[in-house]
């Protein structure tokens, strides 16, 4: 299979969902610094996606922007299938996620649905087509961005906690299915990270709960993803690394 769209100095291609902002953008930059080319998926923020693409190219790596809604099966397939005819990514980071917070008793069905469809539906829509060629290539890494909310449960986030806990189950099951093909599947569970997603959270209530006493940065999470994409993690699969300052142990 031809490895087009890949630079000669590249360690391979990594597909990152939700790569235009926050943790996804930091992950794209970090993986480019590690020597990977990037397929950067985003939903709507073209301006931010273009900024990240430029930074990746300035680091000497290639970046292909893939605008699609990962919660939409047909949209995801229509973009990914033709690309997969030509190239097999070495890795996938499923990072895209949204919150629609509110108490469960009052939660509209569409807010339950949208959160689940983006995180958990996105897992199926993006990974299902990519995992087959990765298995045929007999190498590869998958990293899923879960959350402390999926581990501890968070009041006001029953939808999000369910989606993120579901991803942990999916990581462990898929890790068992594809290990024989040398494809490793792990998760990262961030705590409170300073991004657009958390800008309205009142820090005075949350910081006292964090033993390290601060919010994490998107780069803190990207560092764990980088480790899980690298040589030093080649005997690690089916695991969840907590990047949470001690918030949940």
Least gap, CB of 34 to ligand NDP (angstroms): 19
**Binding of residue 71 to ligand NDP (CB under 6 A):** yes
Structure tokens at 232: 């030093």
* Residue 219 CA from chain centroid, whole number: 13
Q: Looking at 77, 198, 217, 239, which residue binds ligand NDP (CB under 6 A)?
A: 198
Say which DSSP state 230 is in: S
Q: Looking at 6, 17, 233, 242, which residue binds ligand NDP (CB under 6 A)?
A: 17
Which one, 11 or 112, has the nearer CB to ligand NDP?
A: 112
Q: Which among 204, 248, 207, 199 is positioned nearest to 21, based on CA atoms?
A: 199
| 203 Cβ neighbours under 8 A, 6+ residues apart | 215
**Binding of residue 197 to ligand NDP (CB under 6 A):** yes
**Binding of residue 36 to ligand NDP (CB under 6 A):** no
Residue 239 to residue 151: CA distance in whole angstroms: 13
* Residue 80 CA from chain centroid, whole number: 16
Residue 62 to residue 82: CA distance in whole angstroms: 18
Which one, 43 or 62, has the nearer CB to ligand NDP?
A: 43
Least gap, CB of 129 to ligand NDP (angstroms): 15
Residue 64 to residue 79: CA distance in whole angstroms: 12
Which one, 140 or 191, has the nearer CB to ligand NDP?
A: 191
Residue 17 to residue 25: CA distance in whole angstroms: 10
**Binding of residue 77 to ligand NDP (CB under 6 A):** no
Which one, 11 or 164, has the nearer CB to ligand NDP?
A: 164
160 is catalytic: yes
Residue 22 to residue 222: CA distance in whole angstroms: 10
Least gap, CB of 42 to ligand NDP (angstroms): 4
**Binding of residue 195 to ligand NDP (CB under 6 A):** yes
Annotated catalytic sites, by residue?
A: 160
Residue numbers of the site for ligand NDP (CB under 6 A)?
17-18, 20-24, 41-45, 48, 69-71, 95-98, 118, 145, 147, 190, 192-193, 195-198
């Amino acid at each position: 299979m031809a490895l087009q769209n890949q630079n000669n100095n590249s360690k391979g291609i990594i597909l990152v969902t939700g790569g235009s902002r926050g943790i996804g953008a930091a992950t794209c930059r970090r993986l480019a610094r590690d020597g990977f080319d990037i397929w950067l998926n985003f939903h709507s923020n073209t301006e931010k996606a273009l900024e990240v693409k430029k930074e990746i190219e300035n680091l000497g790596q290639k970046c292909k922007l893939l605008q699609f809604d990962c919660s939409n099966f047909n949209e995801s397939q229509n973009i990914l299938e033709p690309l997969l005819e030509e190239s097999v990514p070495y890795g996938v980071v499923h990072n895209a996620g949204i919150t629609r917070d509110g108490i469960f008793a009052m939660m509209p069905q569409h807010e339950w649905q949208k959160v689940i469809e983006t995180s958990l539906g996105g897992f199926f829509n993006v990974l299902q087509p990519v995992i087959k060629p990765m298995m045929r290539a007999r190498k590869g890494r998958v990293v899923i961005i879960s959350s402390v909310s999926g581990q501890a449960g968070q009041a006001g986030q029953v939808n999000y906690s369910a989606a993120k806990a579901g991803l942990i189950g999916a990581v462990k099951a898929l890790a068992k299915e594809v290990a024989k093909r040398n494809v490793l599947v792990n998760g990262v569970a961030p705590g409170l990270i300073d991004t657009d997603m958390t800008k309205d959270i009142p820090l005075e209530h949350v910081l006292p709960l964090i033993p390290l006493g601060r919010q994490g940065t998107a780069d803190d999470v990207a560092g764990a993803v980088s480790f899980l994409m690298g040589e030093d993690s080649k005997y690690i699969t089916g695991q969840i690394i907590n990047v949470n300052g001690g918030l949940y142990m």
